[in-house]
Amino acid sequence: MARKILRIKMDDLSYKYEEVPSKWAKWGGRGLTSNIVAEEVDPTCHPLGPNNKLVIAPGWVSGTPAAPSSGRTSFGGKSPLTGGIKESNSGGTSSQKIAKLGLAAIILEGMPKDSKWYVLVITKDGVKFEEANDLLGKGMYEVDEILWKKYPNKPAIIGIGMVGEKKLSNAGISVNDPENKPGRYAGRGGLGAVMGARGVKAIVVDDTGGPGVEIANMDLFKTGRKKLTDAITSHDLTKPGGGLNSYGTNVLMNIINEAGGLPTRNFSAGYFEGASKISGEMIAETVEKRGGGMTGHGCHTGCIIKCSNIYPDEDGNDLVSPVEYETAMSLGSNCGIDDLDYIAKMTYQCDDLGLDTIEAGNTIAVYMDSGALEFGDKEGALSLFDEIRQMTPLGRILGQGVKATAEAFGVFRVPTIKGQSMPAYEPRAIKGIGVTYATTPMGADHTAGYTIAPEIAGVGGKVDPLSDEGKSELSLTFQAATAFIDSTGYCLFIAFPILDIPEGWAGMAESVAGVTGQSITGDDVISIGKEILKVERDFNTRAGFTAADDRPPEFMRYEKLPPHNEVWTVSDKALDEVFAWVNS
């Protein structure tokens, strides 16, 4: 059975299944969400108004048997945070279940005329619109628990917390993990507010009895799957007991700190004296010492990397899952906080309220930079989440993210690009990632073109992080490869082994070709990725973006960043070269 698009109209609470038009037939994941958004959403629309849409798509291989680490869901729409196109990508349970229902995408459009809130229940038999009044004002932990009790087949829950209900720009979209905890997030860009604007508190996806994913060429799929699996399980970073499995993404904390690129105290330094106390190694030690929580946790069924963790409280009870590197930076070093327990408590608040952790931590850092709170004041930082929970005027400002908070409190050191704040790598110390932050259509986003691999980790070659040379081309190559991988449903972390192991790279492409029946080899990855980037850049141009939006913030050009005492030196011309090919 060919994949279908499920279009849900909140205006009249109706839905219909549509054939995937031939122009979109080749796409999955990000490639599909971005093409649909680019065609169906007016780039000049208000992100919270009736003309924006939320598009949800599993990747090409999600839901197929034993495709390794392939549970990623793409969420697309016009971002309230950036004003541009957004694809925000999450792990958790949703991707495989949507795919197994035979769906290429779900398009959520319109707004309820009665201003009511709904839970959408999607099964093989269609969509039920259930009133969500009893869930309003509830955090995602409680929402997930209530919905799993009501729907006993352990469905995927896609939901928004109170921040999304209030349509604030730092609202993420939560996806439950296999233990029904809400910590997997399509966090970036405020798409939770776009979902809230459709009047949808949660989407329940129950794939029981679904048709499953059609595989065009099973032999080719199996061949590709094996090559990819072998690459993942043999590379030191992704194999069982390797760096990611043992320490999670926060394995990077000490390393980026050593490289002088760890954002510290609102991007005023690249080295944090307390980094070791909030590192992945410390999480692993804490798990061992407290006898609770775990490392090597999988965020979705079939993940063979298992980089997630469950952080235990002082009594060994599960506190939150996961504590990621990005989170430990934003709520830790960037706020001058060196206490993992507090970082974990604040992460819990983010996951419950429905906030992107990167933006939330960076927002507190900007607030601290205004003098309203001392850097390092962990009690003060934690109490700010009460302001957000109670939706006080301060809480509403903080829920809007870094840019709005900086404006409200008179801060000039604003680490944003296209309105979205920077993740955990300082562009002045690691120039290639700065080029990605500046030029990706998504706003400052490390996952959009992770040049950290060659610049810091020696994965996929070795490049000097402090040099400007060749960074435009490097960033573009990574951005294109990422756009492809974001379309597969595979976790982006498969990139690390397959950058070093060519058979794995070929296997990824072959597994996609096997599922879709398209003629795709490893040589096509970059060109297909560039097609997606072109569509996204074009949307942003139509939304009014210019070259001026592809620039890092001014303070990075004159404030020297210790310990290297470097400023941002990549020329505007070099930044403009990254996407010069789009308009040529």
- Residues in contact with another protein by the rule CB under 8 A: 235-237, 241-244, 246-252, 254-255, 258-260, 271, 275-277, 279-282, 285, 307, 324-326, 423-425, 446-447, 450, 452-453, 456-459, 462, 464-466, 493, 496, 563-564
DSSP 246-278: HH-GGGHHHHHHHTT---BTTTTBS--TTGGGG
Provide the minimum distance between the beta carbon of 568 and another protein in the complex, in angstroms, as a whole number. 18
Phi, psi of 155 (to 5 degrees): -75, 165
Our CB check for another protein shows the closer of 164 and 248 to be 248
Our CB check for another protein shows the closer of 252 and 350 to be 252
Our CB check for another protein shows the closer of 13 and 186 to be 186
CA atoms of 251 and 275, how far apart (whole Å) = 11
Provide the minimum distance between the beta carbon of 323 and another protein in the complex, in angstroms, as a whole number. 12
Provide the minimum distance between the beta carbon of 129 and another protein in the complex, in angstroms, as a whole number. 38
Phi, psi of 223 (to 5 degrees): -60, -50
Our CB check for another protein shows the closer of 62 and 250 to be 250
Provide the minimum distance between the beta carbon of 322 and another protein in the complex, in angstroms, as a whole number. 11
Our CB check for another protein shows the closer of 394 and 466 to be 466
Provide the minimum distance between the beta carbon of 490 and another protein in the complex, in angstroms, as a whole number. 15
Contacts of 44-50 with CB under 8 Å at 24 or more apart are: 44/542, 44/543, 44/544, 45/78, 47/77, 47/78, 47/79, 47/80, 47/83, 47/190, 47/193, 47/194, 47/197, 48/80, 48/167, 48/193, 48/194, 48/197, 49/197, 50/11, 50/110, 50/111
Residue-wise burial string across 322-344, b where 16 or more C-beta atoms lie within 10 A, e elsewhere: bbbbbbbbbbbbbbbbbebebbb
User: From the CB of residue 142, how many other CB atoms can be counted at a distance below 10 Å?
Assistant: 14
Q: Is 167 left (phi over 0), alpha (psi -120 to 50) or beta?
A: left
Provide the minimum distance between the beta carbon of 464 and another protein in the complex, in angstroms, as a whole number. 6
Tokens of 27: 């796409």
Whether the bond into 322 is cis, omega within 30 of 0: yes
Q: Which amino acid is at 108?
A: L
Q: What is the DSSP letter of 20?
A: P
Our CB check for another protein shows the closer of 65 and 461 to be 461
- 3-state secondary structure at position 406: helix
Provide the minimum distance between the beta carbon of 193 and another protein in the complex, in angstroms, as a whole number. 24
Our CB check for another protein shows the closer of 56 and 283 to be 283
Our CB check for another protein shows the closer of 447 and 488 to be 447
Q: How many residues does the chain have?
A: 584
Provide the minimum distance between the beta carbon of 276 and another protein in the complex, in angstroms, as a whole number. 4
